[in-house]
Amino acid sequence: MKSQKLTAELTNLSKQARAAILSMTTLAASGHPGGSMSSIDLLLALYAVARHDPKNPQLPDRDRIVVSNGHISPAVYSALALNGYFSLDKAVSQFRLWGSIFEGHIEREVPGVEWSSGNLGQGLSAGAGMALASRINSIPYRVYVMMGDGEQQEASVWQAAMSAGHFGLDNLCAIVDRNRLQIDGRTGDVMSLEPLEDKYRSFGWHVDEVDGHDIGAIIAKLRTFPAQPDQPSILIAHTVKGKGVSFVESDFTWHGRALPPALAEQARVEILMT
């Protein structure tokens, strides 16, 4: 019953978050709504499972959540706000404003953000380093790394994957937002990732898959981590770009383009009414 109640609460929060994502990007007339809406269910589930404290963001044994694809900042800010790190209204109203901490790509100045982003492909290396530091410093914590699937085309991702497998970092869990779209179209057309799961297995990772919009299933999968001793884990989450808005879903042109006000209002109504 507790799991069902949590799932219901997070499902309601996901609607608030998607509406906030649209408000942020439309007010700023810029940003990345597509990937933010495909990943928000994953982020909300992750913060529900991870050990963290918004009143003490630097808790030494907190779980580290590294968001490598930092352009999904609207989703990250929404998830952090709904977890009590700051006001959601503040994040919405100050998104991408000059001098604001709520930049287009997440930065560590934002409470709860562990890794400053920008160049894609760097987060898994940072996460592997944090996981190794946990072992070296004898401070037990888990490290979660959010990545996009287009990001898997970066060579540095595979250097980090090889290193994590070699060191048997079983306190490291990567999550891939597998919406199969990136800024220029379908990931398979830009550069094939297949077989993505087998690639990670070949580097010594434990691989699992999930419906990236089934919050209950995501939580259940995350609670099994670490899945295997001496193996890093990766969860391939199958998602829909622009999830929640019928005329945005599966359309790569909304990857980095804000909805105009009239369309954004139509989208908010659809999100909140379904």
Q: How sure is the predictor about 274, in pLDDT bands with cuts at 50, 70 and 90? A: confident
Contact 101, 180 (CB under 8 A): no
- Average pLDDT of span 219-236: 96
Indicate the class that CATH gives domain 2-53+62-273.
alpha beta
Beta strands 172-178 and 233-238: pairing type? parallel
User: Which pLDDT band holds residue 153 (cuts at 50, 70, 90)?
Assistant: very high
Q: pLDDT tens, 99-110?
A: 999 999 999 999
Q: Output the pLDDT for position 115.
A: 96
Rounded mean pLDDT of the chain? Answer: 97
For the segment 129-144, the average pLDDT, to the nearest whole number, is 98
Residue 1 scores a pLDDT above 70: no
DSSP 115: S
Q: Compute φ and ψ for 144, nearest 5 degrees.
A: -115, 135
Confidence of residue 2 (pLDDT cuts 50, 70, 90): confident
45 pLDDT exceeds 90? yes
Residues in CB range of 248: below 8 A, 6 or more apart? 33, 34, 37, 241, 242, 254, 259, 267
pLDDT at 177: 98
Residue ranges covered by each domain of the chain: 2-53+62-273
CA distance 46 to 65: 8
Does the pTM exceed 0.95?
A: yes
Residue type present at position 5: K
Query: What is the rounded CA–CA span in Å between residue 153 and residue 193?
Result: 7
Q: Summarize pLDDT for 166-221 with one digit per residue, the tens.
A: 999 999 999 999 999 999 999 999 999 999 999 999 999 999 999 999 999 999 99
**C-alpha span between 92 and 89 (Å, rounded):** 5
